[in-house]
């Protein structure tokens, strides 16, 4: 009779490991978030509503969430194209391009903001050519969109790239053998495989953009009701020692971000389930 011996685990037992995980998660995430809600609870409902729904706050929500969502969707398109080129083609300078994708990760956000402002200002390298066309980028909502697109690109590329690398080309060849053209192969074979990873990348880019501060404040111009983002409005209230007002705006951002991220994750789950059923 053979005795079944339990293989030793690298990590300690489930109870101890779970305890460490919950302690770290509480220390880093749950306690700060709880403090946010506790501080906001010092406001009455009327005070809270007045803070989070005044015209300046509403305009900042529209710019912050709108530009973040549009930037994430733009990255979803062009980030997928970049990942496709890096995986499917070999060309001179490919390693350099692959390394440059991670530049927004390594570059300090303030440096990115100053650089983008210098490039897109009316006298900048690109701005000087856009100005005669009536296109103003720096110190406008368009500048905010460009900054948020810049910092979110790596999330999409690095999420989609491994899936493309693991995608078997023989499946595409089989589709072509069965008479599918390139568009049919892309729509029926490639997109279903990329869709969950693409949604994950878009969600991560969106979440990163919502809380972005350093790369935006320089190029935004920070004009109330026009180009002021919510994180800057929160910082303004903190500088005025209005901690309850700052946490109230933070709660709104947290709740809206959570709802949007949950919706994206549900869409990702639905698409994965549907793909498995097919």
Please tell me the pTM assigned to this model: 0.83
Dihedral sign from CA coordinates of 85, 89, 92, 96: positive
pLDDT at 78: 95
Distance CA 155, CA 158 (A): 6
What fold characterizes domain 43-277?
MetI-like fold (1.10.3720)
Distance CA 199, CA 159 (A): 9
Dihedral sign from CA coordinates of 67, 137, 148, 51: negative
pLDDT at 37: 86
According to DSSP, residue 29 is labeled I
| HSE value, Cβ hemisphere, 13 Å, CA-based, for 31 | 7
Q: Are the C-beta atoms of residues 239 and 198 closer than 8 Å to each other?
A: no
According to DSSP, residue 9 is labeled P
Angle made by CA atoms 270, 273, 274, in degrees to the nearest 5:
85
Nearest CA among 64, 62, 52 for reference residue 248: 52
Distance CA 255, CA 261 (A): 10
Distance CA 197, CA 214 (A): 28
Tens of each residue's pLDDT in the chain, 278 residues: 444 455 555 555 667 778 888 888 888 888 888 888 888 888 889 999 999 999 999 999 999 999 999 999 999 999 999 999 999 888 888 899 999 999 998 888 889 899 999 999 988 899 999 988 889 999 899 999 999 999 999 999 999 999 888 877 777 777 777 777 777 777 777 888 888 888 889 988 998 899 888 889 889 888 888 999 999 999 999 988 999 999 999 999 888 888 877 877 777 677 667 656 65
Phi, psi of 241 (to 5 degrees): 60, 25
Q: Where are the domains of the chain?
A: 43-277
């Amino acid at each position: 009779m053979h005795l079944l011996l339990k293989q030793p685990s690298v990590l300690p037992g489930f109870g101890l490991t779970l305890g460490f995980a919950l302690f770290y998660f509480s220390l880093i995430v749950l306690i700060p978030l709880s403090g946010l809600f506790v501080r906001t609870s010092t406001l009455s409902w009327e005070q809270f509503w007045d803070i989070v729904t005044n015209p300046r706050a509403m305009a900042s929500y529209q710019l912050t969430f709108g530009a973040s969502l549009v930037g994430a969707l733009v990255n979803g398109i062009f980030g997928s194209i970049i990942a496709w080129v890096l995986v499917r083609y070999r060309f001179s300078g490919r390693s350099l391009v692959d390394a440059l994708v991670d530049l927004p990760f390594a570059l300090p956000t303030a440096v990115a903001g100053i650089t983008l402002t210098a490039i897109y200002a009316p006298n900048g390298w690109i701005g000087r050519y856009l100005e005669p066309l009536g296109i103003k980028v720096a110190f406008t909502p368009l500048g905010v969109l460009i900054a948020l697109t810049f910092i979110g690109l790596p999330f999409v590329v690095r999420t989609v790239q491994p899936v493309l690398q693991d995608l078997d080309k023989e499946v595409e060849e089989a589709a072509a053998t069965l008479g599918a053209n390139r568009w049919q192969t892309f729509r029926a074979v490639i997109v279903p495989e990329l869709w969950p990873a693409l949604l994950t990348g878009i969600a991560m880019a969106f979440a990163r953009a919502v809380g972005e501060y350093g790369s935006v404040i320089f190029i935004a111009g920070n004009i109330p009701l026009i180009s002021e983002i919510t994180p800057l409005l929160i910082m303004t209230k903190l500088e005025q020692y209005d901690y309850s007002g700052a946490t109230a705006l933070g709660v709104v951002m947290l709740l809206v971000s959570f709802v949007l991220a949950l919706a994206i994750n549900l869409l990702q789950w639905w698409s994965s389930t549907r793909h498995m059923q097919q």
